[in-house]
Amino acid sequence: MSASTIDLPAAVSREQTIRDSETVLARPDIPVRVEEDIIRIEALGLEWDIGMAVYQPADESRIPAGADGRKVGIFLLHGGSGDYKTMDRVAMLAAGKFGFKVVSATFPGRFYFPAASRDWPDDTIHADGSVRTPIWKQGEPIGRDEYEVARDVSMRPRYGTRTVARAKPGTNFYHRMAAWPVAFEEGMKEAMRRHLPEATFSIYGEGHSTGGPFVSMLSQRVPNFAGVVATEHTPFGHVGAMRDNWSGSLGKVSGFERVSTDDAVRSDPFNELYIRTWRDLARYAGPEALGQQGPAALMQLPLLMEEILDTWDRARARPQFKAEYVITHDIAGSLTEAARVSAKRLGMNADETAALVARYRGYPRELSGTDAPPLPPFLFAITKDSRDHSPEVYKEVILPAFAAMRPAPRTHLTHFGAGVHSFWKAEDGLPQGIAPAAIKLWHDAITGGYFAA
């Protein structure tokens, strides 16, 4: 089937989502082999350890081919402050029901090397005032003397009180915070070269939430990247910034005004590490409860808070810190400063420094120009009760922004009538959320020719 004849739905009702989920979950299980891989790379004069998990059929001959004849590889990237374990359900469905080979990556610094479980211990903010910090290289901890802890109330309506660790200039923490974007690019490219090689695989990327801008960026930097299966996936940083600053016709949701409380222009410094707490679960749980129950959800606030705190007891085993705003919100000044700090440490001259600044400034946007590879097709999918992804903002901001790119990639939006931002989260009739139905959509698009040239 050619790309011009593949018929993808614009909307999938709740009832159809349940039927699709049941169909997928009833498929025979494919035995899956899951293996960790930890690679060491060099980027900007520093060594970095990058962790990931690889899921594939135990019988590799069962990996299917897409419409282009190449084996299907899925590159998954978690969002928020997770790691590869955040996406385990999605990876297992993709490999165990459809036979795809999946590389589930982890941002630099987020992989917990000291424990075989990869679970982070304790809470993110400690009784002595210290906080959880990244592990960018095994055996190289960040000392308490390398950062200051600050409380930020400037975005309290949306985030509550934010806790940040501010790396002190000249420390290892400071230089790692300046250099990690390049380590991310090089580490992810190496992961795909190793596990989804160009000679065999076409790669389809999904970056959940915060992971979306990074998968979007990688889509032009990896030669066999064939498409983006963008489910609850924030787009390029510069497009995401347009989304955050837009009020448009979004209007009301379930009788309440939807209010954007992000600053019109975010200015997070590159050396600030955001430390997440239960508050980050609350800012999603509130809108999701509103969408599912309406205003009556407020009458159950104690129950909702108990559920949030119980969930946090489990969620704090994931990394729960974040440095990606400089890219996801296209904070040009912070990206420029980070590049210059790294250039100065490496003794770069003016031309080398300018090139590094351009590299950093290019991360939040598509590559353009005669030498730039074209963007692959994007298949966007959003859920009914997503806090961040509404059909209105896609129609009025995101899809027009992609249409204005040169050359413009093929795009399609599917709106599911069920689900929340963490699209694998269970709800009535959907024991694994909309994830089975979403991956069926990926499969249909990949095998049906949507991504074929």
For 136-236, where are the alpha helices, taking DSSP H only? 156-159, 172-195, 211-218
| Residues 44, 46: Cα–Cα separation, whole Å | 6
Query: Could you tell me the residue ranges of all domains in the chain?
Result: 11-448
What does residue 24 show for φ and ψ, rounded to 5 degrees? -65, -45
- Under the banding of pLDDT at 50, 70 and 90, the label for residue 247 is low
Distances (CA, A) of 132 to 109, 152, 210, 323, 328: 11, 17, 20, 13, 22
Given a cut of 90, whether residue 245 has pLDDT beyond it is: no
Average pLDDT, the chain: 93
Given a cut of 60, whether residue 23 has pLDDT beyond it is: yes
Residue 293: predicted pLDDT: 87
Question: Average pLDDT of 342-367?
Answer: 98
Q: What is the pLDDT of residues 172-211, one digit of tens each?
A: 999 999 999 999 999 999 999 999 999 999 999 999 999 9
Q: Which two tokens stand for residue 120?
A: 């982070």
Helices and strands per DSSP (H, E), number in the chain: 14, 16
Given a cut of 70, whether residue 257 has pLDDT beyond it is: no
**Strands lying side by side in the sheet with 11-12:** 11-12, 411-416, 378-382, 225-231, 201-207, 71-77, 101-105, 46-57, 32-43
Class of domain 11-448: alpha beta
Given a cut of 90, whether residue 38 has pLDDT beyond it is: yes
Residue 181: predicted pLDDT: 98
Question: Average pLDDT of 121-130?
Answer: 95
Residue 292: predicted pLDDT: 84
Residue 242: predicted pLDDT: 84
Residue 212: predicted pLDDT: 97
Given a cut of 60, whether residue 252 has pLDDT beyond it is: no
For residue 325, the SS3 value is: helix
Residue 286: predicted pLDDT: 84
